[in-house]
Amino acid sequence: MIKLLKFSFAFVLFTMIFVACSKEEISSTDADEFAEAATTDLQERSNTGHGGCFELVFPIEIKFADGSTATADSAGGIKAAIKTWKQANPDNKTRPSFVFPISVVKGDGTIVVIDDQDELKALWKECPRHFGKGHGKGMHCFKLNFPFTIKTANGTEVVITGPEDIKKMRGQKGQPRAQKPELKFPVSITLKDGEVKSVASKEELQAIKDACKG
């Protein structure tokens, strides 16, 4: 019975979080406040960043209400792009969204490619804890630095040297792409404070992520 109650609570919490995330507008008209809120909103939707379970693999593309898009190579880049757009569209309150596919890296070095909002919801179920809004909102915990190597399910190793290789790794929905890619260690990451660090193992990467979430 206790296990059932715990599962029910987690399911209700997960549902509440995604209902809360479904709001289409951000009320603030201040460009800085809007950008911070919108950046945190994107991270909350993907359960990524300083307050989430995963990290976005940059670069990513975001789409605005007027149909324009912007590419960002960091959480700070997301915020800067949103601020620039808001300054040019002060009366528009609609939050930006991801341009799929996107990819995230788990603490164990596994990379997940996400094709749409439904898959984004499914990812939440792997870590249905409450997103840590109060802890470094709008920031990443770590960012992968180029180059890095991924290992695919069939044992193939692929060196990712820049944004174009990220696009190839993600591919298109229904088209060939890297299958269940995992990072080959060591990897270089940039921490939220700007420190560049070499990570020797998935255990070390997980420890960094766990400490960041705390």
The dihedral sign for the CA sequence 44, 71, 141, 56? positive
Asked whether the CA dihedral 136, 139, 144, 150 is positive or negative, the reply is: positive
pLDDT values of the chain reduced to their tens digit, one per residue, 214 residues:
444 444 444 444 444 444 444 468 888 889 999 999 999 899 888 889 887 889 999 999 999 999 999 999 998 999 999 999 999 999 999 999 999 999 999 988 999 999 998 998 888 888 765 565 545 556 788 999 999 999 988 888 999 999 999 988 887 666 556 667 899 999 999 998 899 999 999 999 999 988 886 5
Sign (positive/negative) of CA torsion 5, 130, 46, 197? negative
pTM of the predicted model, to two decimals? 0.81
